[in-house]
Structure 1
Amino acid sequence: MKLKFLKQSAEQRREMILNGSIPRSLFMLALPTLMMGVVQSMMPLTDGLFINNVAGTLVASAVTYCQPILNMAVALSQGLGAAAMAMIGQTNGRGETEEAKHISTQVMVFAFVLGLCLVPVLVLVSFPVSAHVTPEISRNVFLYIALNAAVLPFSFLESIYNAIKNSSGKPEATLVRMLMMLTLKILFNCIFIVWLRLGIVGCVLASLGANVIVSVWMYFELFVLKSEDKLELHGFHFDRGILRQLIHIGIPSMISSVMLQIGFFLINNEVQKYGAVVLNGQGIANNITNICFNLPSAFGAAVTTMVSMNIGAGQAKHARRCMWVGCLFSMITAVLIIAIVVPLSPYLTVLFTREKEVLFIANHALHIYTYSVVGFGVCMVEQGAFIGLGRTKVPMVIGFLRIWALRYVFILCTESVLSFYSVFWGNLFSNYVAAVISTLLIMHVEWKSMLDDGSAPPRRHRSLLHLPKH
C-alpha cells in the first residue's frame, strides 16, 4: 500500500484526498510529514550533541540564544509557504494543475529574491544583538548571526519547496530532502566541528554546506527533471496578480511567524540573565522536545492539504471532518510521546553534557515542556485548517495570544516567584489555553474559501479519472 501511494500521479493523489477514506488519507499524507518531523528535529538534536560535547557550554548557549533571531528571518519564508499552500492546494483541488505550477514558480523565485535582500539586514542586526548579551557569549552571538546570513536564501528555497510538495499532496518529497539535509549536516559537523575544531564558525559552515547542496538538488528536481510536476523558468516574469494575492494572504502568516520568534527571543532574554548554565539547560531541553512537538503538529500540514483541496472542490463537510480526525490523531500521538519521553528524560539529557548544574535545569525543563505537547498539537492542526481555508489572519491572532498574551505575560507575572521556572511553566500554560481558544474559533468558522472572499461559488469536484477520453 505504501509503495502504491508513493507511485501515485498527481490526479490519483487528488482523488484519494477528495473521495478516499479520511483516516487513511490523513495517515498516508501525515506519515511522511511525521517522519520528516523526526528527521527535522534530529538536526538541532545532532547539532546540540556536537556543540555541547565538543565546542562547550558557551558556544552552545550562544547558539540557543541566536536561534529565535535567525528564525525570525526564516519565518518570513514560512509565512509565504503557508500562503502558497493555500493557493496551490485550492488550485489543485479545482483540477487546474498548470495554474498551480505557474503559482509555484512565482513563489519560488520571489522567495529566493526576498532571501537575498534579507542577507545584509541580518548582518546589521548582529551588531546590536551581540552588544546586549552577557560578555561571555557576546562574540559567539555576533559570529553566529552574521555568518548565518549566507544560509538565509537557501532556507527560503527549502521552505517554499516544502509548501509546493505538501500542497500537491506529496509530503514524501519533503522527507527525502530532510534526510539528505540531516546526512549532510552530520557529515559537515564531523568535519568542521570535530575534526577542524572551528567552534561557532564550524557550526555555520556545516549548515551552509548542507543547504547549498540540498538547494542544488531541489533546483534539479523542480526545474530540470522531466516529470508531470516540472516547473518552467523559460520566459519567466513576475505575475503581479499572483504576487499581490500571495502577499495579501501571506502577510498575516509572516507577521504571525515573526511575532512568535520575537516572543521566543524576549523569553530567551529573560533566561540569559540567569547565566550560560540555565540558557544551556533550556537549550538541551528544547533540542529534545523539538521531536515531541514536531510529531503531533505534523498532522497540521496534512490537514492544510486536505482542507484546501476539499474546499477548492466544494466539499466543506468533508474538509471539516478531515480537521477533527487530524486533531484526534494528533492527541493520540502526543500522549504516546509523553509516555515514552518522560521516563527516559534523565538518560536523554546526559547525552549532551555531564555538568550536573546544566543537567538539573535540563531535566526539569524537559518534563514540563513534554506535558504541553497535547495542547500544542491540537492548536497546530486547527491552525492548519484555518490556513487551508485561506484564513491566515486567525493563526496570526492565535500565535500572538499563545506567545505574547499568554506565555510572555505569564513569565513576567510569575518570574518573581518561580524564577527561571516561569519560562517552563509558561510554555505549558500557553499551549493548552491556546488550544482551547483555537477549538472554540474553529467550531464557529464558516467553511468556505477566503481566497476569493466567498464571491465565487465553489466548484464541485468531478474526478478527471472518470471523464471521457477524447
Structure 2
Amino acid sequence: MSDIAVAELPPVAPAAPAPPAATPPPPKNPLLDDGILRTLLRLSWPNVVALTAGTCVAVAETSYIGRLGTEALAAMALVFPFVILTMTMSGGAMGGGVASAIARALGSGDDDRAAVLAMHALLIGLCFGLVFTVGMLTFGERALALLGGRGAVLSQAAGYVHIFFAGAVVPWLMNTFAAILRGTGNMKLPSLMILSSAVLQIVLGGALGLGFGPIPRFGMPGVAAGTLTAFSIGASVMAWVIFSGRAGVKPRLDGFRIERGMFIDILKVGAVSCFSPLQSVLTITIFTHMLAHFGTAVLAGYGIGGRLEFMLTSIAFAVGIASVPMIGMAIGAGRVKRARQIAWTAGLVSFLFVGVVGTGIAIFPHLWIDLFTDDAAVRLAGEQYLRAAAPMYAFIGLSISMYFSAQGAARVLGPVLAQTGRLLFVVGGGWLLIKNHGSAGSFYLLAAGSMVLLGVTSALSVLVTRWGPKPPAASIAG
C-alpha cells in the first residue's frame, strides 16, 4: 500500500478566557452624591415641620401657663433653663454625637459597627437620664431658689421640676432613638414623632394644667405630666421601628458586649458637645438671676422673649441636625472638601432665616408679646428685650449650625470654647453693669452682644480647625 501524504493541520489555539464580568458600581448615596443645598433642604424640611410644631407647643404652653397667672409665667422662666438643658443635651449634644458616629460608620461601609454603636448609644442615654433624675430631685428646688425663686413662684417651679425630672429618662431615650434614625439619614420618622408628641403635649399639658371636664386643675405639675406622657409615646414608636429592623440600623441584644471603643467614638463628640448646652444654660441661668433683681414683670417679659429665641433657633437646629449625617458620611468616605461645603451652606441658611424673622419681630414686637400677656409692665419688658436682642438671633442660628457641622466632622471643641467665651462675656459684663447700677435695658444689650460674639467665634473655630484624618507623621531618613 502506498503511503498517502496527509497535510499537517496547524495546531488549534486555545480559546481566550472570557473577560471578567464588570463589577456593578456601588449604589448611589444621596447624602454623598447629590447637590448640597438641595439635599440639605430635603433633609431639613421634616425637621422644620416638627420643630415648628415644637414652637406651637412653646406658644401654647406659655399661653395656658399665662392663664395660671404671672407667678406661673415667672416660674416657667426659672424652670425653662433646666428643661432646655435636658432637651439640648440629649437631642443636640449627645444626640449629635450618636448621629455623627453612626453616619461615619455607614459612610465607611461598616454597617455592623453602626448597629453596635446604636446599642451603646441607648446605654448612654439611659445612664444620663438617671443622672438628671437624681440630680434634679435632690438639688432642683435649691437651684431654683438660687436663681431668685421665692414664695409662690418657687413653689410652682418646684412642682414642675418634681414631675418632669422624675421621668428624665424618657426625653433622653426619645432623643437617642431619634439620633440613631438621623444618623442613617432618616429625618422623616423622628420628625413625625416630634410632631405627634407636640400635638399630644399641647392637649395633655393644657388639660392637666388647666383642668378639663372631669380632669382637675393640676397646675404646673399637670403641664409637666402631659409633656412626659407625650414623649413616652413618641419614644415607644421609634423604639419599635428600630428594634424591628425597619430603620437600616438594628441594635442587637443577643451576644451584645460592651466595647470601650464604641463609647469613645460616641463620647468624643457627645461628651464634649454636652459642655456647649451646659454653658449655654449656665449663661441663661446667670442672666436670669441678674434680671430677677428687677422684679417679676421683667423676669416674665424676658421669659416671653426667650421663647421666641427658642422658636427661631429651632429652625437652625433643624438645618444643623440635617447636616450631621451629610458631613459624617462625607468624612467617613474621605471627602473632606464636600464636608466643609455642607457646613458653610448650612451656616448661611441658618443665619439668613433666623436673622430675617428676628429682625421682623424686633420691628413689631407686639406681634409676639400680645400672644401671651395683657400685663402692661410685662409687655414693656418683653418689647424692650426683643428690640435689643431679636436681630442678633441670627448669630445664635449661625453658632448652632457651626456646632452641628463640627459634630459631623468629630471636631467639636471649637464651638464649645466659643460658648465658654460667651459665658465669660456675660459674667464679666453683668458684673460691671451691677456694679454701675445698670438698667434692665443695658442687660438686654449685653445679651445681644454675647450672641454676636458666639456666632462669630463659632464660625472662626470651624474655619481654622482641620477636618478629616490626621496626616501620618513624616519619617526621618537615617
TM-score by length of 1: 0.87
Q: 1:429 to 1:339 in 2, by over 3 A?
A: closer
- Is 2:79 the partner of 1:66? yes
AA of the residue aligned to 2:321: A
- Residue of structure 1 equivalent to 2:23: none
- Residue of structure 1 equivalent to 2:326: 306
- Residue of structure 1 equivalent to 2:17: none
Once the two structures are superposed, residues 268-308 of structure 1 have per-residue CA deviations (whole angstroms, 9 ceiling, x without a partner) of 11112222211111111112332222223432222222221
Higher helix share: 1
Q: Give the distance between the partners of 2:451 and 2:457, measured in 1 at CA.
A: 10
Q: Give the distance between the partners of 2:336 and 2:93, measured in 1 at CA.
A: 24
- Residue of structure 1 equivalent to 2:424: 405
- Is 2:270 the partner of 1:254? no
Q: Give the distance between the partners of 1:387 and 1:80, measured in 2 at CA.
A: 10
- Residue of structure 2 equivalent to 1:265: 285
- Residue of structure 2 equivalent to 1:461: none
Q: Contact 2:392–2:452 at 8 Å: present in 1 too?
A: yes
- Is 2:114 the partner of 1:100? yes
Q: Give the distance between the partners of 2:409 and 2:209, measured in 1 at CA.
A: 44
Q: Give the distance between the partners of 1:86 and 1:426, measured in 2 at CA.
A: 34
- Residue of structure 2 equivalent to 1:36: 50
Q: 1:244 to 1:436 in 2, by over 3 A?
A: closer
Moved more, 40-49 or 243-252: 243-252
User: 2:262 pairs with 214, 217, 242, which one?
Assistant: 242
1:432-451 matches, cutoff 5 A: 432-449=452-469
- SS across alignment from 1:372: helix
- SS across alignment from 1:233: coil
Q: 1:390 to 1:226 in 2, by over 3 A?
A: closer
Q: 1:432 to 1:131 in 2, by over 3 A?
A: closer
Q: Give the distance between the partners of 1:261 and 1:111, measured in 2 at CA.
A: 20
Once the two structures are superposed, residues 344-399 of structure 1 have per-residue CA deviations (whole angstroms, 9 ceiling, x without a partner) of 42132112111111111112212323201221122222222211111122222111
Q: 1:147 to 1:190 in 2, by over 3 A?
A: closer
Q: Give the distance between the partners of 2:276 and 2:350, measured in 1 at CA.
A: 22
Q: Give the distance between the partners of 1:130 and 1:447, measured in 2 at CA.
A: 41
Once the two structures are superposed, residues 45-74 of structure 1 have per-residue CA deviations (whole angstroms, 9 ceiling, x without a partner) of 21101100x211111211111221344444
Bigger relative contact order, structure 1 or 2 (CA pairs below 8 A, ≥6 apart): 1
Give the RMSD, CA atoms, in angstroms.
Answer: 2.3
Q: Contact 2:94–2:270 at 8 Å: present in 1 too?
A: yes
- Residue of structure 1 equivalent to 2:183: 167
AA of the residue aligned to 1:409: G
- SS across alignment from 2:168: helix
Shift of 1:135: 2.5
- Residue of structure 2 equivalent to 1:377: 397
Shift of 1:343: 4.4
Shift of 1:127: 3.6
Once the two structures are superposed, residues 318-338 of structure 1 have per-residue CA deviations (whole angstroms, 9 ceiling, x without a partner) of 111111222222233124313
- Residue of structure 1 equivalent to 2:433: 414
Q: Contact 2:159–2:220 at 8 Å: present in 1 too?
A: yes
Shift of 1:43: 2.1
Once the two structures are superposed, residues 220-246 of structure 1 have per-residue CA deviations (whole angstroms, 9 ceiling, x without a partner) of 222136453443334444333212333
Q: Contact 2:99–2:179 at 8 Å: present in 1 too?
A: yes
- Residue of structure 2 equivalent to 1:124: 138
Q: Contact 2:433–2:443 at 8 Å: present in 1 too?
A: no
Q: 1:73 to 1:348 in 2, by over 3 A?
A: closer
- Is 2:344 the partner of 1:330? no
Q: Give the distance between the partners of 2:471 and 2:262, measured in 1 at CA.
A: 18
Shift of 1:110: 2.5
Q: 1:406 to 1:240 in 2, by over 3 A?
A: same
1:310-389 matches, cutoff 5 A: 310-338=330-358, 340-389=360-409
Q: Give the distance between the partners of 2:202 and 2:162, measured in 1 at CA.
A: 22
Q: 1:85 to 1:426 in 2, by over 3 A?
A: farther
User: 2:163 pairs with 135, 147, 155, which one?
Assistant: 147
Q: Give the distance between the partners of 1:98 and 1:283, measured in 2 at CA.
A: 46
Q: Give the distance between the partners of 1:298 and 1:228, measured in 2 at CA.
A: 22
Q: Contact 1:223–1:233 at 8 Å: present in 2 too?
A: no
Shift of 1:37: 2.7
Q: 1:329 to 1:275 in 2, by over 3 A?
A: same
Shift of 1:417: 5.2
Q: 1:206 to 1:423 in 2, by over 3 A?
A: farther
Q: Contact 1:307–1:388 at 8 Å: present in 2 too?
A: yes
In structure 2, list runs of 5 or more residues that go unmatched.
1-25, 474-478
Q: Contact 2:99–2:325 at 8 Å: present in 1 too?
A: yes
Q: For the pair shown, which has the larger CA radius of gyration, 1 or 2?
A: 2
- Residue of structure 1 equivalent to 2:476: none
- Residue of structure 2 equivalent to 1:158: 174
Q: Give the distance between the partners of 1:381 and 1:147, measured in 2 at CA.
A: 32
AA of the residue aligned to 2:175: S
Structure 1 segments (4+ residues) deviating >4 Å = 73-76, 453-456
- Residue of structure 1 equivalent to 2:94: 80
- Residue of structure 2 equivalent to 1:463: none
Q: Contact 1:134–1:273 at 8 Å: present in 2 too?
A: no
TM-score by length of 2: 0.86
AA of the residue aligned to 2:75: A
Q: Give the distance between the partners of 1:273 and 1:136, measured in 2 at CA.
A: 17
Q: Give the distance between the partners of 2:150 and 2:192, measured in 1 at CA.
A: 40
Once the two structures are superposed, residues 384-420 of structure 1 have per-residue CA deviations (whole angstroms, 9 ceiling, x without a partner) of 2211111122222111112x12233223323435422
The alignment covers a number of residue pairs equal to: 440
Q: Contact 2:181–2:247 at 8 Å: present in 1 too?
A: no
Q: 1:455 to 1:63 in 2, by over 3 A?
A: farther
